[in-house]
Structure 1
Amino acid sequence: MAIADLIDAVTVGQAPMRIEAYDGSVVPGRGDNSASDIVLRLNNERGLRYLLTAPGDLGLARAYVTGDLEMDGAHPGDPYPAMIELARWTFRRPPLAEVPKLLRAVGARNLVPPPPPPQESLPPLRRALEGLRHSRGRDAESISKHYDVSNAFYRHVLGPSMAYTCAVFPKADAGLDEAQQEKFDLVARKLDLQPGMRLLDVGCGWGGMALHAATHYGVEVTAITLSEQQASWAADAVEAAGLSGRARIIHGDYRDAPGTAYDAVSSIGLMEHVGVRNYASYFALLRDKLRPGGRLLNHCITRPDNQASTMPGAFIDRYVFPDGELTGSGRIISAAQDVGLEVRHEENLREHYALTLAGWCANLVEHWDECVAEVGIGTARVWGLYMAGSRLGFETNAVQLHQVLAVKLDDDGNASFPLRPTW
């Protein structure tokens, strides 16, 4: 049986794009009669084995990362056009009576999984041998896996802002760096930062919020990140900006952030790594860092509802954010309220994240050769695949991005909040 016949056996209707296999067989696909110019090329038997032994996004990712599967018509730094077509592919489970025939056609050899690419993390059960989920050691390993790739690589992808979280576009044609600065400024305005205030920035990344708050708002910032390379970059950036007296960068776990009685706390893109079961302790810790009347801004990716599984898909878990978890904004707000914080405002910025990801992919395409030289083509392919797929997810409401603003009340229930928002 030709590979094209195997594909037809598990596809409802026609495949959305042309597929060419190494055995010479071809699946025409709907794309042959449309404007689509995407062609999937399965280059070898190893790619077939990846697809057969890990059906779904994991097998696809393994074959693509190794180059065993290629997407002609879409740059590997931005395979967004191919992701759109793949999202239209509808599969079916073959009837039980067809299974023996298909297995014989596949052959026993092709049902033996090849070793996964080196970019892949261990599966969750094997990771458990390294420590409990969201233990300090295991969190440090997961953060390093994603963020300690290469500061030079991230500089190419993220641009001058070195901001790796959703930007806020003041207008649709705003540049990525302008939108990132607007994001930091929106956070500062929501926190009502004033000169002389003390800000704690947990999960500070490469220091973008710390630099913005110290430079434009005259606050004293303590910022902490679990990524060693991020901390090193941020500390150098603070020194280069002449802000060493106003901003301090710490390499460490957010749970070890020093000090109390802060006027404000910002958490931008950290909560995805905290773990849903730890939300209560997370919000309680940040509450205890605030003075009465102090504000907390929590910015994180969410599910569109509060009932879906918090676990990511296999590709995201193995290649992008090991141990990452997502849930709905309602569950996040409830967790903040349940520790005594008063939630005053929330908003969904998912369209802004789609624009942000489009900008990152454009940067990856522009600097493709430099990025490949820095981290290797397999890792560069991973980033293109995950960013393009995430862009589609935000556009189609598979994921969202919520900012939640909360305040720590004083003993008399005073929130020290104006009657209407000032930002």
Structure 2
Amino acid sequence: MYRTDHGRRGQANGEGSATRGLARAFDQLLPGDVPLRIDMYDGSSAGSPDAQHGMALNSPAAVSYLLSAPGELGLARAYVSGHLTITGNLYTVLRTLIPLLDTFGWRDAVRLLRELAPGHLHRFTPPEEELVGRIRRGWFGLRHSKGRDSVAISRHYDVSNRFYEMVLGPSMAYTCACFPEEGATLEHAQWHKFDLVCRKLGLEPGMRLLDVGCGWGGMAMHAAEHYGVQALGVTLSRQQANWAQKAVVARGLADRVEVRHLDYRDVTETGFDAVSSIGLTEHIGARGLSAYFRFLSSRLRDGGRLLNHCITRPTSTAPHRVGPFFDRYVFPDGELEGIGEITSVMQGNGFEIRHDENLREHYARTLAGWCDNLDANWEDAAAEAGVGRVRVWALYMAASRLAFERHQLELHQTLGVRASADGSSGMPLRPDWGV
């Protein structure tokens, strides 16, 4: 999958005893029957000698990153900086390595520190792709304030439209696809996802749709082109808005679709027939969910529908905030809730829940498709966005794919309706949108 952009291993440099301890330590972590190999910068190795997949620690800095920030953050720093590189397939390496790390207890950590710290426990400056920690980030403003959300969204989405074209493909859809049958292409599955949302919302010609967090405009354009609606899309990413505005004109939809560079909270229009929220809830924060759904309800007419499509935790007791790698490199200030929390807040803020569907296996397939696209365009993507940024995306997408496969994440589409005062919903007796 990910082509080898590895640097050369360093040479032994007077740290003979430390490097022998390094190989011995990793042999205890990675038994020989595990189909992975770890090559050290002094020429030694741990794990299975014949394994086609593994990693290379190219310098003492790789070990220092791993020891100074144990877990996902240290691994990410070493990989993004190029001090740790992948041999073979990144997803295969993570799929094999992470279950081993899950069984890695505090006694193992103490042993590694005792053995390796004398020669390798040094602080290194994080890669330039890393955002400062949550506490120091406070100068951007209060968490999920308009200003801080704008910075967070820009950090992730304003990388380069050309970069996203290489990763996402022609659909420019950066959310979970829905595969209608085995063997469906990623592009077909993204088209099917947008169409499924339109059908769940009951869209008909002449209706008005508000698409919050509209990205590059795919949902708004699909709804206008295939269902004859008037669509307004809003996004906090200026680059997304610019790309979408040009695409709207190119597809001859300027009379039916408007895309604004705008915070959803600044939408003043009301009386919409439907609202689509595809991949925005993850940026709202648990404390902001009530205000979020209350605002969306206020934009709808009686009988209007909301389709909320978002990543969720598999339980309602898991921590909301994402881990340090995702927070600093991928989704600053991102938060995930359990589907029970989300539906409860929807119910408490104007919505009757009419349908819910879990598409987590579809997201694993979607991420696999994005990984393939990145691999096929690795050199061009690195030239466009920088090799460090490309490594970030490679690591985050492979890790996310694994999380969905292992049921550490879910993806839910939840349909709610703003019922009329007399209780009428305008919903069919049973779902009528098919597969």
TM-score interval w.r.t. the shorter chain? over 0.9
Which residue of the partner structure matches residue 107 of structure 1? Answer: 118
Aligned equivalent of 1:94, options 107, 127, 144:
107
Which runs of structure 2 are paired with 1:289-300 in the superposition (5 Å)? 289-300=299-310
1:4-83 superposed matches below 5 A = 4-8=23-27, 17-27=36-46, 29=47, 31-32=48-49, 36-74=51-89, 79-83=90-94
Report the CA distance shift for 1:340/1:7 in structure 2 as closer, same or farther (over 3 A): same
TM-score normalized with structure 2 length: 0.91
CA offsets 1:160-212 (integer angstroms, 9 cap, x no match): 00000000101121111111010000000000000000000000000000110
2:213 alignment partner in structure 1:
203
Check the 8 A contact 1:11/1:92 in 2, yes or no: no
Aligned to 2:12: none
Equivalent in the alignment of 1:230: 240
Q: Which residue identity is paired with 1:92? A: G
Alpha-carbon spacing, 1:275–1:12, altered in 2? closer, same or farther (3 Å): farther
What is residue 157 of structure 1 aligned with on the other side?
Answer: 167
Query: CA shift at 1:307, angstroms?
Result: 0.4
Residues 402-422 of structure 1: per-residue CA shift (max 9 Å, x gap): 000000011111111111111
1:165-314 superposed matches below 5 A: 165-314=175-324
- Structure 1 residue 254: Cα displacement: 1.1
Structure 1's unaligned 5+ residue stretches are: none
1:119 equivalent among 112, 117, 129? 129
Contact 1:43 1:68 in 2 (8 A): yes
Supply the RMSD in Å over aligned alpha carbons: 1.8
Query: Deviation per CA, 1:368-410, whole angstroms, max 9, x where unpaired?
Result: 1110110111111111111111111111111010000000011
Contact 1:16 1:86 in 2 (8 A): no
* Aligned-partner Cα distance in 2 for 1:128–1:412: 46
CA contact (8 A) 1:10 1:92 kept: no
Quote the sequence identity (%).
54
1:252 and 1:133 map into 2 onto residues whose CA distance is 18
* One-letter amino acid of the counterpart of residue 166, structure 1: C
Alpha carbons of structure 1 residues 97 and 147: separation in structure 2 relative to 1, 3 Å: closer
Partner of 2:329: 319
Alpha-carbon separation, structure 2, partners of 1:329 and 1:142: 24
Of 344, 360, 364, 1:354 maps to 364
Match of 1:85 in 2: 96
Q: Is the 8 A contact 2:25 2:112 kept in 1?
A: no
Give 3-state SS (helix, strand or coil) of 1:196's partner: coil
Shift of 1:11: 6.3
Is contact 2:272–2:304 with CA below 8 Å preserved after alignment? yes
Q: Which residue is 2:405 aligned to?
A: 395
Spell out, residue by residue over 1:44-63, the C-alpha distance to the aligned partner (whole angstroms, 9 max, x if none): 01111111100101100111
CA distance in 2, matches of 1:379, 1:402: 28
What is the CA distance between 1:24 and its match in structure 2? 3.1
CA distance in 2, matches of 1:11, 1:307: 32
Shift of 1:16: 5.4
Residues of 2 paired with 1:411 and 1:307: CA distance? 34
- Where in structure 1 do 4 or more consecutive aligned residues deviate above 4 Å? 8-16, 95-101
Equivalent residue number for residue 333 of structure 1: 343
* Cα 1:212/1:116, change in 2 over 3 Å: same
2:257 & 2:266 partners in 1: Cα distance? Answer: 17
Q: Any idea what the Cα deviations from partners look like across 1:228-269, whole Å, max 9, x if unmatched?
A: 000000000011111111111110111112300100000000
Look up the SS of the partner of 1:222 in the other structure. Answer: strand
Separation in structure 1 between the aligned mates of residue 110 and residue 225 of structure 2, nearest angstrom: 69
Q: Is the 8 A contact 1:58 1:315 kept in 2?
A: yes
8 A Cα contact 2:53 2:87, kept in partner: yes
Number of equivalences: 412
CA deviations 1:294-335 (Å, max 9, x no partner) are 000000000111000011111111111010000111100000
Q: Alpha-carbon deviation of 1:37? A: 1.5
Relative to the length of structure 1, the TM-score reads 0.94
Three-state SS of the structure 1 residue aligned to 2:135 is helix
SS class of match (1:294): strand
The answer (yes or no) to whether the contact 1:12–1:92 under 8 Å persists in 2 is: no
Q: Secondary structure at the match of 2:189?
A: helix
